Amino acid sequence: MITGRLLRDAFISGANGIANNKKAVDELNVFPVPDGDTGTNMAMTTSNAVTELEHLKDDCTAAEAAKTMAGGCLRGARGNSGVITSLIFRGFNKALKGQESCSSEDLVKALELGVEGAYKSVMKPTEGTILTVAREASERAREVSRTTNDPVIIWEEVCKAAKLSLDNTPKLLPVLAKAGVVDAGGKGLCVIFEAMLETFKTGRIVESESKKAEPAVTVETFASAVGQFDQEITYTYCTEMLITKKKDCKSPSKLRAYLETIGDCVVVVEDDEIIKVHVHTNDPGKAIQKGLEFGYINLPKIENMKLQHENKKKEAAEPAFKPVKPDKKYGFVTVAAGSGIENMFADLGADCIVKGGQTMNPSTDDILKAILSCPAKNVFVLPNNKNIIMAAEQAVKLTDDRKVIVLQTRTIPQGISAMLAFDPESDVNANRENMTAALEAVSTGTITFAARDSDYEGHSIKKGEILCMENGRLSFVDKDLAKGAYKLTKKLVKGDSSFVTIIYGADVTEEAAQALAQQVRNKYSSLDVNLINGGQPVYYYIISVE
């Protein structure tokens, strides 16, 4: 039997496993459209349930663990792959209602119900995808259950069957064979299942990659299939919404039927309170308008898949940094991690962006290559992390055909403020002084987690607790991310503060970030509060106050 505690921990392991490997899964993504976000969507879907799971007590029942996982996944579901993943875990909720623990038969039934729900909710189920991998794993579970009642042995066979099914996906789906990859959603599901098996066998929770030097579950690294593969995208907009049901809500089947007339990749899932909708369409407004007939719209999201794909192609085609002759007066090299933050620096005028930050410090050579590829006679370098400043300063000594100025930016907000203070009409020394003054005026808060038990700066810290840092020093420790983020923001705000910028990371949902921003606005009506999706790893939030 699998206890509620073990099941809870296995769910957390699954979420951490896909979060560790989301980039590699993204790089496989060519079906149904080559937009390169399958791993990210699956990670954000499952991660949405982790905080709630971590608050369950060790004596929780299997039913409680399954309900928490299913509810969190449904509300956080992103993209087709994310919704299907949420449906698979919804099967656990159905199979384990009222159950103290999970038997081998419960485990098999959970998979069967999950697969059944996933197939029913997809307009045109396509074999060779995550659906096939889930179904064949489920069929193997039923077969093995006839000869053993050990749930761990059954789950081992589930993982083996899922892997065999995944390897066969290119034979079932020519688009995968053409790109030379396996199905991205199927790969993501295998990663989740394997991480869960690790917990079932050892009792150990697979930690997120930033908590360990090496992830417990790894996947192969592929060159991005997205950028290399072209496929016509029939419907431009990936449209999602969460509908809070009206009391007299119509059957969601009518909504699904309508969406099928204006698009494809339709998934409509419901529980007692909400309806989760996903559709690819050229008329997102019509989809949302129809959704209003069923209840109140929350968190609508519309993404241009053609633009996403073109950006991925551009990224794949872009060469590594190449030396160029300096032909303009000023240029910028900045270090950043997270697509939102990188885009922000690009918009401010950064010529070259070196990927890096906390736990992923670029080398002196990485920074030097970026400097030499910056076509400027005077290059300002913004390390944006105290551990990168020294490497940046070493690069100065290795350049002789341009002047390099390393600003002492220790945080992302300091780097942004420094760039905002730049004046192209001023000389180098005046800009250095003004930019330095601007960065020093910024108060920065960062929120991450404790990788292990420790005693630090007078704080007794337990593994997994929320660490709230104020200007590089530990301010306090909290157990709740939302409460900790709000409390830290209040500590940063002073009487003369005018602006608050909240940059949320890859492991924070948009819903949670919006809630924090609104809470700050309610508290400080005179402040200008700006919310940015930074997509950064490691840090849940980076908060700046000026």
Nearest alpha carbon to residue 411 among 546, 530, 529, 214: 546
Task: Per residue of the chain (546 residues), give pLDDT as tens.
Answer: 899 999 999 999 999 999 888 888 887 765 444 445 788 878 888 888 888 898 899 999 999 999 999 888 877 777 678 878 988 999 999 999 999 999 999 999 999 999 998 888 776 788 999 999 999 999 999 999 999 999 999 999 999 999 999 999 989 988 788 767 888 899 999 999 999 999 999 999 998 774 443 333 433 334 344 344 445 567 888 888 888 888 888 888 888 889 989 988 787 877 778 888 888 888 888 999 999 999 988 767 888 877 766 665 555 555 467 788 888 999 999 998 888 888 888 888 889 998 877 657 777 778 888 999 999 999 999 999 887 887 888 888 788 889 999 999 999 999 999 998 999 999 999 999 999 999 998 989 999 887 667 766 677 788 888 889 898 888 899 999 999 999 999 999 988 888 899 999 888 898 999 999 999 999 998 888 888 888 888 889 999 998
Same domain, 24 and 65: yes
Same domain, 53 and 199: yes
Same domain, 153 and 104: yes
Q: CA 531 → CA 165, 335, 508, distances in Å? A: 42, 21, 12
Residue 524 CB-density burial (10 A; 0-12 exposed, 13-18 middle, 19+ buried): middle
E strand or H helix that includes residue 145: helix 130-145
Determine the pLDDT at residue 222.
Answer: 41
Alpha-carbon Rg for the chain, nearest whole angstrom, is 24
Determine the pLDDT at residue 485.
Answer: 93
Give yes or no for a contact between 96 and 62, defined as CB atoms under 8 angstroms apart.
yes
Q: Which of 252, 271, 303 is the last residue before a domain boundary?
A: 303
Report the CATH number at residue 381.
3.40.50.510
Same domain, 363 and 402: yes
Determine the pLDDT at residue 133.
Answer: 95
- Bridge partner list, 357: 360
Give yes or no for a contact between 332 and 349, defined as CB atoms under 8 angstroms apart.
yes
Determine the pLDDT at residue 212.
Answer: 44
Nearest alpha carbon to residue 227 among 36, 33, 23, 32: 36
Residue 450 falls inside a structural domain: no
Number of neighbours of residue 458 by Cβ within 10 angstroms: 6
Same domain, 475 and 434: no
Question: Residue 100 belongs to what domain range?
Answer: 4-209
Q: Which of 249, 276, 303 is the last residue before a domain boundary?
A: 303
Residue 219 falls inside a structural domain: no
Beta strands across the sheet bearing 328-336: 352-355, 328-336, 376-382, 403-406
Which tokens in the block code for residue 380? 């300002």
Same domain, 12 and 45: yes
- Tokens 């038997």 belong to 103
Residue 533 falls inside a structural domain: yes
Distance in angstroms (rounded) separating the CA atoms of residues 261 and 281: 9
In angstroms, the first-to-last Cα distance of the chain is: 55
Same domain, 174 and 256: no
Same domain, 349 and 494: no
Residue 313 falls inside a structural domain: no
Nearest alpha carbon to residue 6 among 65, 93, 79: 65
Residue 119 falls inside a structural domain: yes
Considering the entire predicted model, what is its pTM? 0.50
For residue 226, give the 3-state DSSP assignment: helix
For residue 277, give the 3-state DSSP assignment: strand
Residue 448 falls inside a structural domain: no
Residue 456 falls inside a structural domain: no
Determine the pLDDT at residue 335.
Answer: 92
For residue 468, give the 3-state DSSP assignment: strand
Question: How many domains does the chain divide into?
Answer: 4
Distance in angstroms (rounded) separating the CA atoms of residues 43 and 19: 5
Same domain, 483 and 524: yes
| Sign, Cα dihedral of 456, 477, 498, 435 | positive
CA 312 to chain centre: 17
Determine the pLDDT at residue 215.
Answer: 36
Report the CATH number at residue 268.
3.30.70
Residue 134 falls inside a structural domain: yes
Report the CATH number at residue 116.
1.25.40.340
Q: Tell me the one-letter amino acid at 27.
A: E
In sequence order, which ranges of 273-427 are alpha helices (DSSP H)?
284-291, 305-317, 339-348, 364-372, 389-396, 412-420
Same domain, 160 and 47: yes
Determine the pLDDT at residue 31.
Answer: 45
Q: Which of 303, 331, 355 is the last residue before a domain boundary?
A: 303
E strand or H helix that includes residue 199: helix 184-202
- Structure-derived torsion over alpha carbons of residues 242, 248, 254, 256, reported in degrees to the nearest 10: 10
Same domain, 398 and 479: no
Phi and psi at 99, nearest 5°, equal: -90, 135
Pairing of strands 466-470, 443-449: antiparallel
Same domain, 173 and 267: no
Name residues whose C-beta falls within 8 Å of residue 543's C-beta, 6 or more positions apart in sequence: 413, 444, 445, 446, 447, 485, 488, 489, 492, 500, 501, 502, 503
For residue 479, give the 3-state DSSP assignment: coil
